[in-house]
């Protein structure tokens, strides 16, 4: 596995953790918004 892939996995796991926190605290507006941000972060070109 390349370093870029590893970095992306770490970023995704961090996003999922943050997303889970927001879901638990009821601060997440909707799943649609969450998916938009998820896709946005996933498509970011990582260094």
What does the DSSP 8-state code read for residue 46?
-
| pLDDT value, residue 37 | 77
The count of C-alpha atoms lying within 13 angstroms of the C-alpha of 27, restricted to the half-sphere facing its C-beta, is 6
Greater model confidence, 7 or 34: 7
Helix runs in 1-47, H state only: 3-25, 31-43
pLDDT for position 36: 81
Confidence of residue 3 (pLDDT cuts 50, 70, 90): confident
C-alpha dist (Å) from residue 13 to 17, 18, 19? 6, 9, 10
The whole domain housing 34 covers 3-11+18-43
Number of structural domains (the chain) is 1
Q: Which pair of structure tokens corresponds to residue 1?
A: 């596995």
Model pLDDT for residues 10-44, shown as the tens digit of each residue: 988 988 888 777 777 766 566 677 778 778 877 77
| This model's pTM is above 0.85 | no
């Amino acid at each position: 596995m390349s370093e870029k892939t590893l970095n992306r996995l770490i970023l995704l796991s961090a996003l999922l953790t943050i997303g889970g926190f927001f879901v638990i605290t009821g601060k997440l507006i909707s799943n649609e918004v969450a998916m938009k941000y998820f896709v946005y972060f996933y498509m970011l070109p990582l260094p």
